[in-house]
Structure 1
């Protein structure tokens, strides 16, 4: 399995922050301005926390693990995940309380990490405070191009890339990557995520198997936070 050669600026990002990062726009607008990714960011963070041992299952419940959270966004999600006897109820409560703030919190962390910066804002030449914009558009374009290449059919041997595309599919956010052929990209994302939009054989091999296991774990988290319910992909439509 081969890691994706992300830009130097974003090389250390966790999965939830990378998801937020690639949803930034190439005109410099931050990801929070697209709206809608909050439940996905929460789901990605919970899955990452479980993977890293910062959360664990204790019976039906989620409890704090021995490991530290990987970044300030994951730490925020862990703090907001209240104790309770049932994991699904914990996730539903998390989504109800903070999914609307998750995009803003991820954007704040990207700013803290230097990927976003504040610049003077003017309207009709009149100064109006400062606006948040992408610091290095070249890095963002490179990273979005890497995702688009896989959506356009390039094979990837990176499980993390497969998981990222599965999140984009489940959130109906493939269009925000502005692929050349949206229908093809959504169909490709659906297949990577384990759906069967076109009747073609499912991807095979160790990377595909690992992505499938990740997607299975993903569904355990995404359904309670409501992320799977927001899918609006056109991949299943007849054209």
Structure 2
């Protein structure tokens, strides 16, 4: 069964820069469907700040034909061994909105046990350059909403130049996530996400865009000295 994996790893600055341009993940990797190598960003941070793009913090989002292929990659591939020293979560696909080339969305969909089960959300998009200022205007309030939401245990953004942007968030429950999406959260300015989505429907920011929802299967390692981001239910 196809699975997805989301990886976080700290690398020395110059190594991280080198790998941005050297494509460290071979497209011929056995069992690999697609991968996106990105640089982490702090959700909601000022556009022109050292916390916006965190070059030494690497994000890799991958799809595999099966879990054995992922295991073999982490154990046998040189960059896979590097990723194995970081943190990652294994994910089973639930739902998709929109389309994004490269990933092959499984026909068979998993299900959560209940609306109170933890869930992982990933968005990924290719930006229209002319839409970047408008996207920043509408997007940063949403970033702050997700970053500060009491329902998330881990959230971040990532970028791959020139125009790929992505977000990742782990939610304590599917209900808390869907409440946020529809503007029903009991937080300040709860409709920031729904308002931004209305603006995107009016005039799209992207060439392609998808939101993916996943059931977390297992997590491994530590990120910034912490682990167990997936709530135990």
With the length of structure 2 as denominator, give the TM-score of the two structures.
0.29
The answer to which structure has the higher helix fraction is 1
The answer to which structure has the higher strand fraction is 2
Larger Rg: 1
Question: Greater RCO between the two (CA within 8 Å, min separation 6)?
Answer: 2
